[in-house]
Structure 1
Amino acid sequence: LYVPKALPTFTPQDFAADESLPAIATRLLQPFFSGDALADELAAICTQAFDFPAPLKALPVAQTHVLELFHGPTAAFKDFGARFLAACMQRLHAVGPAPLTILVATSGDTGAAVAAAFHGLPGLRVVVLYPDGRVSPRQAHQLGCFGGNVRALRVAGSFDDCQRLVKQALSDRELQACVPLSSANSISLGRLLPQMAYYASASIGHWRRTGTPLDFVIPTGNLGNALAAILARACGLPLGEIALATNANRVLPEFFAGADYSPQASVATLANAMDVGAPSNFERLRWLYPDADALRKAFKARAVDDEAIRATIRRGPSRYAEVFCPHTACAVRVLEDLREAGATGHWAVVATAHPAKFEQIVEPLVGHALTPPAALADLLKRPAHAEALAADYPALADVLLGKS
């Protein structure tokens, strides 16, 4: 897992001339692109990638906000990083005799965002692995609805199995000699670093209005979205406390409660995109905080079970005038627990996906149908197909080599 050699340092005043998300992203990412072949293209890349909003919305509960990250083409926060990475790859990869294969494991939303971002780009193909039966029906439809240069594989296993297969392929030099590969998971810094931009935009906007940092509760599974916030804060941006909300997969909460870090087999939950038992970005977190005690003091992490997810979704309309997806509901519940324990100040819950992606879970709990956003509705109209794949590496290698 690559990490920056060093992190730049900013103050809110460094962004005084920047209002839009693309402008803030350009300034934030400039130091990481210094001397890079894409340095002169950075502003254009940010403008191309971030052409939809990430609004920070006040909720009808004092000092409580929601950062809506579901306004992109696949109605999930993964659209930000995927579109940025695709815009970079589009400029970097010269079309040659062999396409560059973007290999991605997904627990629900990553694959669709990557497929949408790379669909139709010349010289690039996408192979998406997802755990069969462990994503919502609408997520599965999105994963298989693109066709063309996008191939969806439904794996007989868990997300951790999918991630293991992707890592094995990316480290297989013999395979890479025949099939050039790259990644679009949060393994890739090209997806991780641009996700800092919406935290920068939200926290700087809040700082301008109040003069205070903004605290965040972030639903997390593989730690990519949370790590983006953590890196943004490490760069000096006005983020305050960062709390991590997981589902019943308790590896992170147990570590932050004092146990040794111990990856486990993932457990299937209502918040399926967070069904991760071995979060790969934990290694990057340990790079940033090499002392385990200091790391535990820097963040809070709490788990939310399915019963609590259901209860939070049910009361969302009456208490918050909002309908939450199961992942966002985890963050809402953790914030409620933090408030009960005495937490004060302005907090933002990070809404990672539109609830209409999980209509079979959410609609019975809120008692009415959900209208999908226009972009999602268009994808759901397309036919979809995914191929079955055993959870073993030779099967994936045969697919990548065109043998099956």
Structure 2
Amino acid sequence: MKFYNLKENDEQVSFAGAVKQGLGKNQGLFFPTELPKFSESEIAQLLAMPLVERSVKILHPFVAEDLSAKELTNIVTDAFNFPALLQPISSDRAVLELFHGPTLAFKDFGGRFMAKCLQAFCKKEAVTTGVEKKLTILTATSGDTGAAVAHAFHGIDNIRVVIMYPKGKISLLQEKMFTTLGGNIETLAIDGSFDDCQVMVKQSFDDSDLATTIGLNSANSINISRLLAQVCYYFEAVAQLSRAKSDLNSIVFSVPSGNFGNLTAGLFAKAMGLPIKRFIAATNANDTVPRYLETGEWSPHETVATISNAMDVSNPNNWPRVEHMLKSGIVPADCVSSVSIDEEQTQSTVIQLAKLGYISEPHAAVACKALQYSAQEGEFGVFLGTAHPAKFKEVVESIIGQPIGLPKELADCAGEPILSVDMSADFAQLRAYLLAK
């Protein structure tokens, strides 16, 4: 299968090319030339499989040109070595917990899959050419991507990872999970917003001399490998539901949305035949998409800092993929709605969930509240739990008025020093830094 540039359609690359290149010409996003479509009987067979076996079947059509079934199985087995758990909240609500990986966030699925793929492709290229190239992974994070990417690539030879994040705008424990590793992981605390960080990533790709010199790549959700990995946990959620429900056509997913990679993956799953009725894109005060769907005008405002900081994105990079699917008929145009949830509503939902016996963090609470607003009679709602509540320990404790413990993954890094370099939101400074090393 080939992947084409949504801005420059004549640019087509293989899966390996899309993974290694990250972005296409003119900052275009890569998109598969076709999405495999599974029949109802094939879907039923897939839902009966365990996570790894099913995921190999889902992903193989996308990667067959570059990875054998055995190679893909090895990659998926290594990458998805933790569960996605569906936890009931009420008779018609459940949360899909995606934070049982090594960095306690949903980004572990995509980050680990991408790292394993890129490592495999680099080894193959080295064998073919006799030259072992060095790569620089440059990525921006609003919280959880940084940790997932850092841990996925930590210690891999010939791959340098540079992670930018908005200084003072992510939780301390989120920051500690990726700024304390050292080695081939470098972190830059940017005096600006996440959107500023994204802009500098794009400027780096536009600078062909820089990109060639340092072997530039990105591990943001703009990288197609990240998105394909995330498709698999939507299938896992429906598989778990299928064991308890006979009617799978009433499932609604409420997705906490920042850069919109998570929603993009869900739409891929629906287009491939997974029985999902519709999606709710839940945003915080950074409401570019809800306003766009209502007015038809794309008008990002200045990014607002919220307690659901991983969603503090005003100009989401993945929206062109979503819009392409909606406008081209790959998925029904009416299968996505969007709701903006404010801070007071977020906090009250964390409290409501705690009273039901479920400790949540702000991002899942945004999705839960959006589901409450948008649910229709007869629907079964699943909202995504994208991070462990302990990653937002101070915020959650202040809302619910009770202490929460630290998992080992956070306890191990909580006392470590932060190794970040402070930097202005200035591309010239970033360029000089990247070339200096």
TM-score higher than 0.5: yes
Look up the match of 1:398. 432
Query: 3-state SS of the aligned residue for 1:174?
Result: helix
Cα distance in structure 2, aligned partners of 1:333 and 1:343: 16
User: Of the candidates 10, 32, 36, which is equivalent to residue 66 of structure 2?
Assistant: 36
Query: 3-state SS of the aligned residue for 1:278?
Result: coil
Look up the match of 2:33. 5
Cα distance in structure 2, aligned partners of 1:343 and 1:279: 31
Question: Which moved further from structure 2: 199-208 or 220-229?
Answer: 199-208
User: Of the candidates 83, 86, 89, which is equivalent to residue 56 of structure 1?
Assistant: 86
Cα distance in structure 2, aligned partners of 1:274 and 1:140: 15
Look up the match of 2:258. 221
Q: Is the 8 A contact 1:162 1:391 kept in 2?
A: yes
Q: Is the 8 A contact 2:173 2:410 kept in 1?
A: no
Amino acid at match of 1:75: L
Q: Is the 8 A contact 2:195 2:313 kept in 1?
A: yes
Q: Does 1:170 align with 2:205?
A: yes
User: Of the candidates 300, 320, 324, which is equivalent to residue 287 of structure 1?
Assistant: 324
Provide structure 1 residue ranges, at least 5 long, that are not aligned to the other structure.
Answer: none
Amino acid at match of 2:350: I
Q: Does 1:199 align with 2:228?
A: no
Identity of aligned residues (%): 40
Question: Which moved further from structure 2: 29-38 or 182-191?
Answer: 29-38
User: Of the candidates 329, 345, 348, which is equivalent to residue 308 of structure 1?
Assistant: 345
Question: Which moved further from structure 2: 249-258 or 215-224?
Answer: 249-258
Alignment of 1:21-170 (within 5 A): 21-37=51-67, 40-59=70-89, 61-94=90-123, 99-170=134-205
Cα distance in structure 1, aligned partners of 2:350 and 2:296: 30
Cα distance in structure 1, aligned partners of 2:358 and 2:172: 23
Amino acid at match of 2:361: C
Amino acid at match of 1:133: G
Amino acid at match of 1:242: F
Q: CA deviation at 1:208?
A: 4.4
Query: 3-state SS of the aligned residue for 2:406?
Result: coil
Q: CA deviation at 1:93?
A: 1.3
Question: Which moved further from structure 2: 96-105 or 22-31?
Answer: 96-105
Q: Is the 8 A contact 2:166 2:190 kept in 1?
A: yes
Cα distance in structure 2, aligned partners of 1:80 and 1:100: 21
Look up the match of 2:369. 333
Amino acid at match of 1:29: L
Q: CA deviation at 1:299?
A: 1.1
Look up the match of 2:42. 14
CA 49–77 in structure 1, closer or farther in 2 if over 3 Å, else same: same
Normalised to the residue count of structure 1, the TM-score between the two structures is: 0.94
Amino acid at match of 1:264: H
Look up the match of 1:354. 388
Look up the match of 2:4. none
Q: CA deviation at 1:380?
A: 2.4
Amino acid at match of 2:417: P
Q: Is the 8 A contact 1:108 1:139 kept in 2?
A: yes
Cα distance in structure 2, aligned partners of 1:27 and 1:93: 24
Deviations 1:234-266 (A, max 9, x none): 111122221111000111111222331222321
Q: Is the 8 A contact 1:212 1:238 kept in 2?
A: no
Look up the match of 2:15. none
Q: CA deviation at 1:390?
A: 1.0
Cα distance in structure 2, aligned partners of 1:176 and 1:126: 14
Q: Is the 8 A contact 2:222 2:318 kept in 1?
A: yes
Q: CA deviation at 1:39?
A: 5.1
Q: CA deviation at 1:76?
A: 0.6
Cα distance in structure 1, aligned partners of 2:238 and 2:301: 34
Alignment of 1:258-277 (within 5 A): 258-277=295-314
Q: Is the 8 A contact 1:204 1:238 kept in 2?
A: no
Deviations 1:278-328 (A, max 9, x none): 011111112212269x9762211000111111111122211x311111100
Cα distance in structure 2, aligned partners of 1:184 and 1:334: 29
Q: Is the 8 A contact 1:257 1:296 kept in 2?
A: no
Amino acid at match of 1:67: L
Alignment of 1:230-245 (within 5 A): 230-245=267-282
Cα distance in structure 1, aligned partners of 2:65 and 2:246: 34
Deviations 1:327-382 (A, max 9, x none): 0010111112124xx44321111000011111121101111111122223223243
Provide structure 2 residue ranges, at least 5 long, that are not aligned to the other structure.
Answer: 1-28
Question: Which moved further from structure 2: 328-337 or 205-214?
Answer: 205-214
Query: 3-state SS of the aligned residue for 1:335?
Result: helix
Normalised to the residue count of structure 2, the TM-score between the two structures is: 0.87
Look up the match of 2:414. 380
User: Of the candidates 402, 412, 420, which is equivalent to residue 368 of structure 1?
Assistant: 402
Query: 3-state SS of the aligned residue for 1:290?
Result: helix
Cα distance in structure 2, aligned partners of 1:227 and 1:355: 24
CA 87–38 in structure 1, closer or farther in 2 if over 3 Å, else same: farther
Amino acid at match of 1:70: F
Cα distance in structure 1, aligned partners of 2:299 and 2:68: 39
Q: CA deviation at 1:97?
A: 6.2
Q: Is the 8 A contact 2:134 2:159 kept in 1?
A: yes
Aligned length: 398
Q: Is the 8 A contact 1:103 1:127 kept in 2?
A: yes
